[in-house]
């Protein structure tokens, strides 16, 4: 299995550590362990919340939130199709390129690749756009972050079910079969 360059001493609150790359080869599991990442409920991605803003008393939701996340081949990690109630800014940090699959409300499909030597290092996904993500084929792992304002609350997440997405965007049948939820599965995050 291919190995990638690592971050030597990343700590969730130490923002300069991401820039401190060392030429130490590590596996995806070592990155998961080093960064203390865990599985997102409903999705298959590994993540760690790194920032949570103040709670807005009017909405009972955080003003801002940020996560670190990882897609990997082994152990398998990707994001199922879902949409959020707010815009989401994606930031690529290190590793192999990742790809985002977007289905817009009018049924249009777009693929965005984020990576070190790719045009996009950041990308904004507008609210209510169906999105899924995974490694570009052939990769081992890719580390990225997401920032939301207002911040993420579990009630903001709606998982994409196959039947609904196939009606909206039938041209992406194979991708939807791979990254959408079966109609019978839970399509929302458990309440905190």
Instruction: Kindly report, residue by residue over 1-25, the tens digit of the pLDDT.
Output: 333 333 333 444 443 344 333 335 7
Q: Name the pTM for this structure.
A: 0.85
Q: Which of 85, 115, 87 is nearest to 100 (CA)?
A: 115
| 67 falls within a domain | yes
Distance CA 110, CA 126 (A): 13
- Please report where in the chains the tokens 């109630």 appear, as a residue: 85
Distance of CA 164 to the CA centre of its chain: 21
Return d(Cα 138, Cα 128) in angstroms, integer.
30
Q: Which residues contact 104 (CB under 8 A, 6 or more apart)?
A: 110, 129, 130
CA-to-CA distance for 72 and 142, rounded, in angstroms? Answer: 7
Residue 6 lies inside a defined structural domain of this protein = no
More confident residue, 86 or 187: 86
> What is the distance between the alpha carbons of residues 181 and 78, in angstroms, rounded to a whole number?
13
Residue with the larger pLDDT of the pair 15 and 124: 124
Residue at 189 is within a domain: no
- Decide if 73 is inside a domain: yes
Q: Are 122 and 144 in contact (CB under 8 A)?
A: no
DSSP 17-50: GGG-EEEEEE-HHHHHHHHT-EEPSSS--EEEEE
Q: For 55-76, what is the mean pLDDT?
A: 93
The mean pLDDT value for 131-153 works out to 94
* Residue 120 Cα distances to 32, 84, 94, 132, angstroms: 24, 21, 13, 17
- Asked if residue 184 belongs to a domain, the reply is no
Q: Is residue 23 part of a domain?
A: no
Q: What is the 8-class DSSP label of residue 175?
A: H
- 21 in a domain, yes or no? no
- Contact in structure between 38 and 25 (CB atoms under 8 Å): no
User: Tell me, what CATH number does 137's domain have?
Assistant: 2.60.120.10
Domain range for 172: 28-179
Number of domains in the chain: 1
């Amino acid at each position: 299995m291919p190995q990638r360059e690592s971050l030597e001493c990343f700590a969730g609150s130490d923002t300069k550590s991401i820039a401190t790359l060392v030429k130490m080869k590590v596996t995806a599991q070592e990155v998961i362990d080093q960064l203390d990442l865990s599985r997102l409920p409903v999705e298959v991605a590994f993540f760690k919340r790194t920032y949570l803003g103040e709670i807005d008393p009017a909405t009972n939701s955080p003003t801002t939130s940020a996560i670190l996340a990882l897609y990997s081949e082994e152990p398998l990690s990707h994001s199922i199709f879902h949409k959020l109630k707010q815009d989401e800014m994606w930031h690529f940090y290190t590793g192999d390129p990742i790809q985002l699959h977007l289905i817009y409300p009018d049924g249009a499909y777009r693929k965005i690749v984020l990576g070190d030597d790719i045009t996009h290092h950041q990308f904004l996904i507008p609210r209510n756009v169906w999105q899924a993500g995974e490694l570009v084929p052939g990769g081992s792992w890719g580390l990225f972050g997401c920032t939301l304002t207002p911040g993420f609350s579990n009630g903001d997440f709606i998982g994409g079910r196959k039947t609904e997405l196939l009606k909206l965007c039938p041209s992406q049948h194979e991708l939807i079969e791979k990254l959408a939820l079966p109609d019978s599965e839970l399509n929302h995050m458990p309440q905190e």
